[in-house]
Structure 1
């Protein structure tokens, strides 16, 4: 189990705005990539629980684990084994060196990033593209493009269970207790289900037999993220909107409408005070204050940034830009000299 982190104090809005102006962007060059090529394009980024490692997966099958303090590729670790593009990676939430990767080759692999060893793999899951760990780190859910969800164990070579969905299912996220899972759908809705049995938890007041869903998007709901404080659930749609849902009343409290293109990813800062969304259209990233919706900083980028991920305990934002990993914050500025 990863050691517990001492709580990090949140920065006030005004102080953070001043700090953000001083922050720099560090690029992590992968020799397998040619600048701006679609073939390498990063599909997924994930921090480990301590924020000491960051993993990236690309369309050209490149799976790499970086040291954020050392941007030179010689300090990174390449993990080889998938036969198709890497669609999603995520570290075990309680083990800072255990990484799971899913690929369109239908294989889910579990890695010990210290030794590069595959410690478990599960085959034959179809065109898999998304995953989410249960907070206890003992199970996870993987989804394929046929809308089948598999419950997996990092220590078993076959699925524990599978749950076929009746509608297009895009992404999902657990509540912090691991007892509920939230699923985004092509209908623009979010389903709230129990885990691990995937049964509706809430029903509508006007029809006790009809499961309650969050309906906040005019087209497909693509991305989803739970605030670290669990006050808000954020959803992103192909309508370019990020909706913030109060998790007590399940009412949409606020919408962020400054995105360009479909919202492919969403990430909250470690303290839940700030939010950023990623899209594969337009250029630049806007960091917004969750409570007010105010944009506190706009980050210029060379191209679209579909994947974003805040550091687990610092005000650093990792993102993809022209096929490369970049980190905005007080990280790695002098590391190339070492």
Structure 2
């Protein structure tokens, strides 16, 4: 059953494709990054039904009051743990740190070419970035300079993820995954078993397991002590998203991983057993984003078929569906779990208010469209 459009706030905040969106971890504030060379910070009322403020964050050098024509797309946004500052990575080669209230930024430049991904560490003292130049760079936020450059990949770094405040993993088009630590001049571990580009990596909350998804159509689970732990081969095409379920023993008693693929399926896996729990089949196009609700009860998936689906993680049932004019490039739950945001290839952001009526109400149960 599709959601009633009256419960969806559609925002035309950008002039071109919106690649990414992410809720502030502490309040109803949404950040987005777009092909139109801007990031936005959007504030909402308590129910997320009204946009109360929008802050446009322009990227690229300005000269004599005019934006430089070589300013470029914003590929990645990430909040620090307190929600006071936003990091952005763009194709003008800069990492920027923005004050979320004032909209002023500090530009950090050591990459050569596009910056595809930025991630804060948990403590909020460092930012990790990866780019076209094959480098992963750790930035000291207090000093506003790089802490260390890591140049171990032979191709672009397409994703990075912190394991702890000091160690992280990076993946690349070269098919390799490096686990590195600040202060060490060589990787502490390298995983080479993928045969094609590795698109995405994600550590679980404990930092014990690392999940990776590749163009070789496999998902692999690694540990720094044992190396490759599991080889998950149920998908038929490229893997674009991996997401660990929040720790919730009443809902997800073991380690659960969601994966989304170009084969138009989402799978839920029990990592303790290596078995596929559910195959979520409803999408008709590649799936570029998955996101668990904060309590782990629901999983949202966004696809090139222009649909967002909300699934029950305990039963695998499709709970709700809704459609947008463009391809869905990212989805994100807010910190309370009562609003879901997404962004599209048509330049739109949308916010679905789930507070007014619970998505588990029987009147919203799955019905085939």
| 1:326/1:29 CA distance change after superposition, 3 Å | farther
Once residues 27 and 154 of structure 1 are traced to their aligned partners in structure 2, the CA distance between those partners, rounded to angstroms, is 36
Matches within 5 A, 1:119-138: 119-126=147-154, 127-134=156-163, 136-138=164-166
Structural RMSD (CA) = 3.7
- Give 2:240's match in structure 1, choosing from 212, 222, 231: 222
Matches within 5 A, 1:141-220: 141-168=169-196, 169-198=198-227, 200-201=228-229, 212-220=230-238
Gaps spanning 5+ residues in structure 2: where? 1-24, 27-45, 61-70, 354-369
Once residues 245 and 185 of structure 1 are traced to their aligned partners in structure 2, the CA distance between those partners, rounded to angstroms, is 16
Answering whether residue 303 of structure 2 is matched by residue 291 of structure 1, we say no
Answering whether residue 283 of structure 2 is matched by residue 271 of structure 1, we say no
Q: Secondary structure of the equivalent of 2:243?
A: strand
Matches within 5 A, 1:211-250: 212-229=230-247, 231=252, 232-250=256-274
- Partner deviation per Cα, 1:64-97 (whole Å, 9 max, x = no partner): 34455x4x7x34544333221112221213x124
- The residue that corresponds to 1:32 in the other structure is 59
Aligned-pair distance for 1:235? 0.4
- Partner deviation per Cα, 1:118-153 (whole Å, 9 max, x = no partner): 22222353321111221x333111112111221111
Once residues 110 and 183 of structure 1 are traced to their aligned partners in structure 2, the CA distance between those partners, rounded to angstroms, is 21
Aligned length: 292
- Give 2:96's match in structure 1, choosing from 43, 64, 78: 64
Q: Secondary structure of the equivalent of 1:29?
A: strand
Once residues 323 and 79 of structure 1 are traced to their aligned partners in structure 2, the CA distance between those partners, rounded to angstroms, is 30
Once residues 271 and 291 of structure 1 are traced to their aligned partners in structure 2, the CA distance between those partners, rounded to angstroms, is 12
Aligned-pair distance for 1:315? 4.7
Q: Is the 8 A contact 1:27 1:326 kept in 2?
A: no
Q: Is the 8 A contact 1:42 1:323 kept in 2?
A: no
- The residue that corresponds to 1:207 in the other structure is none
Once residues 97 and 313 of structure 1 are traced to their aligned partners in structure 2, the CA distance between those partners, rounded to angstroms, is 25
Gaps spanning 5+ residues in structure 1: where? 7-18, 34-38, 202-211, 331-338
Q: Secondary structure of the equivalent of 2:213?
A: strand
Answering whether residue 130 of structure 2 is matched by residue 107 of structure 1, we say no
| 1:241/1:114 CA distance change after superposition, 3 Å | farther
- The residue that corresponds to 1:50 in the other structure is 82
- The residue that corresponds to 1:14 in the other structure is none
What TM-score results when the alignment is normalised by the length of structure 1? Answer: 0.71
Once residues 180 and 255 of structure 1 are traced to their aligned partners in structure 2, the CA distance between those partners, rounded to angstroms, is 22
Q: Secondary structure of the equivalent of 1:88?
A: strand
- Misfit runs of 4+, over 6 Å: none
- Partner deviation per Cα, 1:195-242 (whole Å, 9 max, x = no partner): 2452x33xxxxxxxxxx5323312222211100127321001011211
- The residue that corresponds to 1:22 in the other structure is 49
Q: Is the 8 A contact 2:329 2:345 kept in 1?
A: no
Q: Is the 8 A contact 2:200 2:242 kept in 1?
A: yes
Q: Which has the larger strand fraction?
A: 2
Once residues 296 and 235 of structure 1 are traced to their aligned partners in structure 2, the CA distance between those partners, rounded to angstroms, is 19
> Which has the higher mean CA deviation after the structures are superposed, 137-146 or 49-58?
49-58
| 1:296/1:41 CA distance change after superposition, 3 Å | farther
What TM-score results when the alignment is normalised by the length of structure 2? Answer: 0.65
Once residues 26 and 329 of structure 1 are traced to their aligned partners in structure 2, the CA distance between those partners, rounded to angstroms, is 18
- The residue that corresponds to 2:167 in the other structure is 139
